[in-house]
Chains A and B, each alone.
Chain A
């Protein structure tokens, strides 16, 4: 049973560039959430995708965008990178239908460094 997989695991970008991070959810899961975790802090909710649509969004600027594909995998795109975007980006999958207990399964994350 494959868990949540993310790619790439590490990447370095420069200010102003764009980045795309990818996530494949746990087998059987249909909902993907993205979190940003700065060093020494807890994960901060970016947005959640269900049925290929953004269902809920946290307090992140429009530079952060995403997409969910028919196979439930997802991408996180960040444009015009700033130094402050350096963080661990975590993908979490879950079940989105009613009655969901809310358990999130996290991937190992993509470590983004912006120089």
Chain B
């Protein structure tokens, strides 16, 4: 079945540092999505990418859809304590179909 590999599994950084995480797949996806999950809550969509090569920003977050449609990265600039959480990538291969999630990158920000 489809699998997404996220790296790193966890990150410990100082407040103010930049963060980079990525996601790879053996399958092609038409859409890549990045979510953040805080403890006790459901995932919240951060960025959606719809075209190969697309680079999209949302505040301090920037994500890119790989040209092969098999990978994506997420960057967070100037991290702050509220960036703490688990970041998931997800791929979708149809307009209304299921999303396949990676196992997440856990981010810890030290003040």
Contacts and interface: CB of A to CB of B under 8 A. Distances in A.
A109 B42 contact: yes
A90 B44 CA distance: 12
Nearest to A47: B98
Interface of A: 4, 31, 33, 35, 40-45, 48, 50, 55-56, 58-59, 90, 92, 94, 96, 98-109
A45 B98 contact: yes
A50 B98 contact: no
B42 A90 contact: yes
A41 B96 contact: no
Given A4-B42, A42-B88, A102 B101 contact: no
B95 interface: yes
Given A40-B103, A43-B101, A59-B1, A100 B43 contact: no
Interface residues of B, number: 25
A33 B94 CA distance: 14
B48 interface: yes
Interface string B26-43: 000001010000001111
Given A41-B103, A42-B101, A100 B42 contact: no
A79 B26 CA distance: 33
B102 A108 contact: no
Contact of B41 (A42, A94, A96, A108): A108
Interface string B57-96: 0000000000000000000000000000000101010011
